[in-house]
Amino acid sequence: MIPLILGISFLVFIILSLTGDPFAALMENPRVKIEDIRRLQHQWGFDLPVYLRYFKWLFSIFKGDWGPSLLYPGRMSYDVVMARIPITLQVMGISFLVALIVAIPIGIYSAVHQYSFVDYLVTSLSFFGMSMPTFWFGLMLMILFSLVIQINGMPLLPPGGIMTPGILSEPFWVRFVDRLKYLVMPVIVLAFNSMGPWSRYMRSSMLEVVRQDYIRTARAKGLPERVVIYKHALRNALIPIVTLVALSIPGIVSGAAITEFVFNIPGMGQLTLNAITKNDFPTAMVCLLLIGFLTIFFNLIADIVYAIVDPRIRYT
């Protein structure tokens, strides 16, 4: 994992170095002296070749210095990222759990009752969820719940943001209910987008497993259908789902940039996109390196979980 993370950091560093100059905006500002710009370039190592700049940045990381944020003057990039993570964890974490809790059972039911009305309905909704643009779905929900459906002239759900201004002085339960109102629409958008592929993978995997010889043997022995499905078939059918879920977990931290922009949620997805497009080099490096590390780490977790859910797999 360590060589892979170092390789990712080097590639990301090189790519970001080619995307733009973080000092370009200062160069165009007539009130900023060129001497001050040169001093900042020297201080942050931007007057060095890119490979030397990478090693200087890497040594700074080992010392705990992630560099200042250019988007938020006076704040360190690491602190800016850590402030956004709790918001993204709330939105993405709830969406992840909702999608997982709904997709797995309906995928199993759809496989066990193949070609039934429920199977066709689940298949149709799954394809709709996979092909539907999240920004369009988000806008449609905003029109429906914020413009069309209103109570006493007030929208049923707030169209965007993460909390009502001034709510921090209110009791906990008031802040809790207020936060839930802001989370409903983005959670629906993100959960529906994930439920489609997860339920389809669960259905396909379960259909493949229930046709195996050992499942027919279990049924021939007179075991109840519930035991056959949930004890013998489900564990082996979960292998592809474990991979999908493990690779989706880093997204809980990295966020969904498009959905966060649509609903104006100040999370990690929005921060990462802003940092890249506006040449906030230190902040972008923190965001992308965090995403890369989580992806590698949860790939390892998926490999370990394989041996737990499938008794045929053993690591020695």
Sequence spans of domains, the chain: 2-62, 83-279+303-309
Sign, CA dihedral 154-158-160-165, equals positive
The tokens of 129 are what?
A: 């969820």
Q: How far is CA 22 from CA 73, 275, 283, in A?
A: 13, 10, 12
Band (pLDDT 50/70/90 cuts) for residue 312 is low
The Cα–Cα gap between 125 and 111 comes to 15
* CA distance linking residue 268 with residue 175, whole number of Å: 22
Cβ neighbours of residue 150 closer than 8 Å, sequence gap 6 or more: 156
Q: 162-218: per-residue pLDDT in tens?
A: 888 888 788 888 888 888 999 999 999 999 888 888 888 889 989 988 888 888 888
Helix or strand run (H / E) with residue 154: strand 154-155
Q: How much is the mean pLDDT over the chain?
A: 85
Which phi and psi angles does 18 have, rounded to 5°?
-90, -10
Predicted local distance difference test score (pLDDT) of residue 316: 62
Q: What's the whole-number mean pLDDT along residues 135-142? A: 90
CA diameter of the chain: 85
- C-alpha 108/C-alpha 86 separation (Å) is 33
| Cα separations in angstroms, 306 against 230, 242, 243 | 17, 7, 9
Fold adopted by 83-279+303-309: MetI-like fold (1.10.3720)
Q: Give yes or no for residue 264 having a pLDDT over 80.
A: yes
Contacts of 69 (CB under 8 A, 6+ apart): 75, 76, 77, 79, 80, 280, 282, 283
Q: Tell me: pLDDT of 306 over 80.
A: no
Residue 21 predicted with pLDDT over 80: no
313: left (phi over 0), alpha (psi -120 to 50) or beta: beta
Determine the pLDDT at residue 140. 92
Q: What is the pLDDT of residues 28-80, one digit of tens each?
A: 677 778 888 788 777 777 778 888 888 888 888 888 888 888 788 788 888 99
- Give the CA angle between residues 34, 39, 44 to the nearest 5°: 125
222-241 per-position pLDDT tens digit: 888 888 888 888 878 888 88
**pTM confidence score:** 0.80
Share of the chain above pLDDT 90, in %: 9
